[in-house]
A and B are shown apart, each in its own frame.
Chain A
Amino acid sequence: MIKLENISKTYRTRSVETLALDKINLEVKRGEFVSVMGPSGCGKSTLLNIIGLLDEPDLGQLQLEGNLITGYEDKKTAGMRNHLVGFIFQSFHLIKELDVYDNVELPLLYRKMPAAERKKRVIASLEQVGLSNRMNHYPSQMSGGQCQRAAIARAITGEPGIILADEPTGNLDSKVGQEVMNILTDLNKAGTTIVMVTHDESLAKETHRIIRLFDGRLVG
Chain B
Amino acid sequence: MNNLNVKARKLLETKVVGVVIGFETGPTGIVRPAFITDPSKADTLIYDEHCTQNLAVYLTKPEVKKLGKIGIVAPLQVMRGIMMLISEMQITADDIIVLGISSKGELLEISDISVMQGLIEKSELSNPLKDKELLDKLTSLSREERFKWWQNELSKCIKCYACRQACPLCYCTRCFVEVNQPQWIQVQSNTYGNMEWHILRAMHLAGRCISCGECGRACPVGIPCHLLTMYLADETFRYFGVRAGTSDKMKSVLSVYDPGDKENFII
- Is the pairing of A and B real? no
Q: Which residues from chain A sit less than 8 Å from chain B, CB to CB?
A: none
Residues of chain B touching chain A, judged by Cβ–Cβ distance below 8 Å, are: none
